[in-house]
Structure 1
Amino acid sequence: MTTLGLIGAGHIGSQLARAAVAHGYDVVVSNSRGPASLTELILELGERATAGTTADAAAADLVAVAIPLRDIENIPAGLLAGKVVMDTTNYYQQRDGQVAALDAEETTVSELVQAHFADAHVVKAFNHIYASAITDDAQSAGTAERRALIVAGEDAGAKKKVSEFIDAIGFDVLDIGGLAESWRIQVGTAAYGPRRDLEELEIDIAQAERPAAH
């Protein structure tokens, strides 16, 4: 069984951990405050979960980065070399400060993440779903109007691995292409936030219009 490593144990990270253990995955959870701060969450998650350092989480089979964009550079670039990395990050100016290339719509959040973790296989995922919905909206495969989530990335094998995880925890998957296309589901777009089944999500992605530089 695949082990999921979580770098970040906030709203998204902790919910991914809950979803993963509920579907038979082992998880290694880390945050910036150290393993001792995760005792309550680990007790809740049960025997499939352990608390560790960022390096411990990075050693897992599949890694989710669930920290603010401003903190990405605090993770050593080489730590995730060769790993499939689910990038859940979004850009919020009020939290992350202004990033000129993003304000100018010259790049995307996940392209910046990929540039930092140059030797990792970054896949955009879980950035457009509210944390509570990761467990609340999950449904079995084949369920009519099952909620769909996107993946974007450059490596087909990495996207397949992430897609299998997303399907296993309760969602259909829409591959929207490379990381450069992930602007189609960034903050402020139609598909960011609301529940969409696969057909609805395809429409939102196809009709998305890139915001003007700001």
Structure 2
Amino acid sequence: MSAEPTSLTAAGDLHVAVIGAGKAGTAVARSLLEAGYRVSMSASGDPDRLSLMIGFVTPGAEPKWTHDAVADADLVVLALPLHRLHTIDPALLEGHVVIDTMNYWPPVDGEIPAFAAGDRPSSEVVQEMFPGAAVVKTFNHTGYHHLEPDRRPAGDPRRLGLAVAGNDADAVALVAAVVDRIGYDPVTVDSLAGTAFMQPGGPAFGARLTAAELRELAGATAPVA
């Protein structure tokens, strides 16, 4: 990866492209904006139609076509239903650090064999779909309605943790710095294979845990070499 995680984040000049303008995507976008990041947003369809909604829901974000939002982004957030993931060209995300906020919900997504098999965490499948990107899993195990009100400054005894998992150490470090700046203690996990505890049905999903509690769960569910 060409980005320098520490210097970019310290300077506050990251450009983050959020793909997906639903409840999860807009909650992430607002948190990023409040932390001082530049945010572009895209959804299916013309960004001119998106602009009115963004003006009310995520003021300060820039509505763009997906390819334009991603083109000069330092970080890309995937916040769309998994059944629409196939509409994203893998070449578009090549060379990017990509945050996977998504969960597989069969009642919404239908039966998607690669995800329905359940023999590995969903982010491993996402990484295979976008082999040229460095996929990092985070934000998925907290509810979109909790993400913003649960944010706390560093050192606050009420501060919660967010797991940040990926196969690329530099990408994980970049995303962990963003999570910290947003208002959570990042708990890094060094493999997408170890993310089952973050998914629906896993012990961390929806639990609103401290960093220490998350570390305990991450260690207990680490894949056996």
Q: Identify whether the pair has TM-score above 0.5, normalized to the shorter chain.
A: yes
- Where structure 1 has 5 or more consecutive residues not aligned to the other structure, the ranges are none
Q: Secondary structure, in 3 states, of the residue corresponding to 1:63?
A: strand
**Contact 1:101/1:107 (8 A) holds in 2:** no
Query: Structure 1 residue 82 and structure 2 residue 101: aligned?
Result: no
Q: Does 1:200 align with 2:213?
A: yes
Residue number in structure 1 paired with 2:143: 130
Aligned counterpart in structure 1 of residue 119 of structure 2, from 106, 111, 119: 106
In structure 2, the partner of 1:66 is 79
In structure 2, what is the Cα distance between the partners aligned to 1:119 and 1:152?
17
Structure 2 counterpart of 1:68, which letter?
Answer: P
Q: Is the 8 A contact 2:166 2:192 kept in 1?
A: yes
- Tell me the equivalent position of 1:37: 49
| TM-score, normalising length: structure 1 | 0.91
Aligned residue pairs, count: 209
1:8 is aligned to 2:13: no
Relative to the length of structure 2, the TM-score reads: 0.87
Q: Which amino acid aligns with 2:207?
A: P
Contact 2:19 2:78 (C-alpha < 8 Å) held by counterparts: yes
8 Å contact kept, 1:67–1:89: yes
CA contact (8 A) 2:169 2:190 kept: no
Over 3 Å counting, the alpha-carbon distance change for 1:188 and 1:79 in structure 2 is same
Query: What is the deviation of 1:101?
Result: 4.2
Percent identity, aligned pairs only, is 37
Asked whether the 8 Å contact 2:14–2:74 carries over to 1, the reply is: yes
Q: Deviations over 1:43-67 (max 9, x none)?
A: 2444x42100111221211110001
- Residue 148 in 1 paired to residue 161 in 2? yes
SS at match of 1:115: helix
